[in-house]
Amino acid sequence: MITFLKLIRWQNILIIWFSMFFMLFCVIYPVLGMGYFEAGLNITQFMMLIASTTFISIAGYLLNDLFDIKPDSINKPGKNVVGRKLRVHVVQILYWVFNISGILFGVYVAYAIGKINYSLVFVFAAGLLWFYSERYQCQPIIGNIVVAFLSALTVAIVWLFSFFALIKDPIFFTNVQQQFASLNMFVLIFSGFAFLTSFIREMVKDMQDIEGDDRFGCRTFPVVNGIKKAKWIAVTTIFASLVLSIWCQVYFVAASYQKLFYYFFIIDLLLVVAGYMILKANMKKDFKKVSGIIKLLMIMGILSMGLVYFDY
């Protein structure tokens, strides 16, 4: 059981779950002034949406491990599961089971809200994860952007499908329509935050794994351009994130979201700490510590969604 939990990255799965739950219950419902499942996605559709996102993500992790067997023998000596504790063909079977199940759950949700063509979102995500593992993760920057985009999609997809589910109730849709501008801003803020923090974490991970990637021909940005330039890419992204965080605080003050305004000082501080640690990092263990700070930053970003509920 422990081996399986490590294989599916249970910590990342929890982050996905909390992101989606907080987006619906702490952002969408309070901003629109709705009761839980009063309109939009019903509980079955929402759980199927979570299942779809979870299963496709797990499939992506499994596929990534299959392609990374050799690099992981250097980057994670003694810790890689595939080929040691689980046979390759077993992981391949699990990949297809989770991937197909995730797409089918997504098709169900798209059909249930009357937008069957939006099932292509799940096919696209699954396909993008395959291209990432097979090609993009070993290309400078592109792989980092792909992971960051999919992280942002995990947040935004809840509002995307909730929106089209609301359309099925024209009267209710009209009543809450005036709140869409505020809600769209929150979705933009939180999905943008997910994109930027994921991009930074992936860049740090590439610096941490440079030895194994270089040995087995994975041409990530640090391998091609060196650690120094990779650091400046990460720090520049952190600086941009800090500027955007301060802009968000200005917006929060103007819109009277006082709790979010003060809370984002924690985000600011963590960004400054992460940037400083990246500049000072030299060894693999240093980058591992930075990765932990970025993961904490992600968690704090998710928790900030909860304050939207208390500000309404």
Measured at the CA of 105, the angle between CA 104 and CA 109, to 5 degrees, comes to 115
Task: Give the rounded distance of the alpha carbon of 252 from its chain centre.
Answer: 23
Quote the DSSP letter at residue 117: G
Q: Where are the domains of the chain?
A: 2-311
pLDDT at position 75 is 62
Quote the DSSP letter at residue 139: S
Q: Tens of pLDDT along 154-166? A: 999 999 999 999 9
Q: What is the mean pLDDT of residues 46-54?
A: 97
Q: What is the pTM of this model?
A: 0.91
CA distances from residue 253 to 59, 94, 166, 192, 309 in whole angstroms, order as listed: 41, 48, 30, 19, 16
- Which two tokens mark 122? 């799940």
- Which two tokens mark 31? 């901003």
The owner of tokens 């974490």 is 201
pLDDT at position 156 is 95
